Structure formats: structure tokens, C-alpha cells
């Protein structure tokens, strides 16, 4: 049996700040976007967040990446992940999230969700980080890496 070293996902302080800002800016709707960065031997470093318009018909409960913004990001070789926000629930993928993941699972390695919280009375975010895995049956699933 081979021991697997735990992979880490690092967010630069700028990216973490932009994710928190985006979460509150679009509240009470869900916000979404693309995460760019580098893959290293130990994991991933995310150093750029590209917000993408949420074009879902019910944006308070769902997100749909605006095709124009998403196409631009999807051609970027530094694309690593998708981000979206949960305005009023914890940063855990919903059944809809897992269903929708099948559309772009092939193109990403990371899946991040942010929820509102506060630290010392200041608005902050709880950010759940997940890695994307392709199952033998072709379905993409998410595995928790913990909180960033």
C-alpha cells in the first residue's frame, strides 16, 4: 500500500479577500467565478479570482456561470477551480452542485464554496475546499480538503 501525502490548497491573502468581498457584494444571491493558479507537488496555490456573473433564474438558490465569462476562463491554462457562495447555508456541496459539477468536472481540479460567518464581529467567510475526482463510471465527485 502506498501512503498518500495530503495535498494542500493555498489561497493568497488577496484571493481570500476577493472571495469574501464577492460573497457579501452579491448577497443575498449566490456568487460564482473561476479560480486560477498553479499546481505544485504539494497541492495548489490559487492566486487569482475571476468573478463570473450568475445567470441562474433563481440566483438566491442556485448559480449558473455566465457562458461568456466562463468560456474566457475555461481557455485559460491556469484555470484550477470553480467558486460559488452559499448565502444562507454551510459551505457544503448541495445535490444540485454535484449534479452541475458533471458539466465542468473535466476542466477543474478544485471546487470552493464560501458561506457567511463573522470573526470578532467582522464579516468573514467559511471557505470549504474540495477536490474533484472522476469515478470509474465517469461521474465526478467531490472530496473535502477541509477549510481554507
- Closest approach, Cβ 93 to Zn ion, in A, equals 6
Do the Cβ atoms of 63 and 82 come closer than 8 Å? no
**Distance, first Cα to last Cα, the chain:** 29
The DSSP letter of residue 102 is H
Is 129 a binding residue for Zn ion by CB under 5 A? The answer is: no
Cα–Cα distance measured from residue 82 to residue 84, given in angstroms and rounded to the nearest whole number: 7
Q: How many residues does the chain have?
A: 148
- Closest approach, Cβ 45 to Zn ion, in A, equals 24
For Zn ion, the closer CB: 69 or 93: 93
Is 97 a binding residue for Zn ion by CB under 5 A? The answer is: yes
Cα–Cα distance measured from residue 39 to residue 3, given in angstroms and rounded to the nearest whole number: 20
Cα–Cα distance measured from residue 125 to residue 13, given in angstroms and rounded to the nearest whole number: 13
- Closest approach, Cβ 3 to Zn ion, in A, equals 33
Cell numbers of 36, please? 486560477
Is 26 a binding residue for Zn ion by CB under 5 A? The answer is: no
Is 43 a binding residue for Zn ion by CB under 5 A? The answer is: no
Binding residue count for Zn ion, defined by CB under 5 A: 2
For Zn ion, the closer CB: 94 or 144: 94
- Closest approach, Cβ 88 to Zn ion, in A, equals 11
Is 34 a binding residue for Zn ion by CB under 5 A? The answer is: no
What residues line the site for Zn ion (CB under 5 A)?
Answer: 94, 97
Amino acid at each position: 500500500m502506498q501512503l498518500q501525502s495530503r495535498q494542500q490548497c493555498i489561497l493568497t491573502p488577496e484571493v481570500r479577500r476577493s472571495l469574501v468581498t464577492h460573497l457579501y457584494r452579491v448577497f443575498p444571491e449566490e456568487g460564482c467565478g473561476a479560480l486560477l493558479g498553479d499546481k505544485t507537488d504539494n497541492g495548489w496555490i490559487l492566486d487569482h479570482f475571476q468573478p463570473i456573473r450568475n445567470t441562474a433564474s433563481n440566483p438566491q438558490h442556485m448559480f449558473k456561470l455566465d457562458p461568456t465569462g466562463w468560456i474566457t476562463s475555461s481557455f485559460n491554462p491556469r484555470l484550477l477551480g470553480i467558486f460559488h457562495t452559499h448565502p444562507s447555508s454551510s459551505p457544503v456541496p448541495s445535490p444540485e452542485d454535484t449534479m452541475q459539477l458533471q458539466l465542468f468536472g473535466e476542466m477543474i481540479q478544485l471546487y470552493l464554496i464560501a458561506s457567511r460567518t463573522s470573526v470578532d464581529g467582522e464579516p468573514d467567510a467559511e471557505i470549504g475546499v474540495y477536490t474533484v475526482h472522476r469515478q470509474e463510471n465517469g461521474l465526478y465527485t467531490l472530496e473535502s480538503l477541509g477549510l481554507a
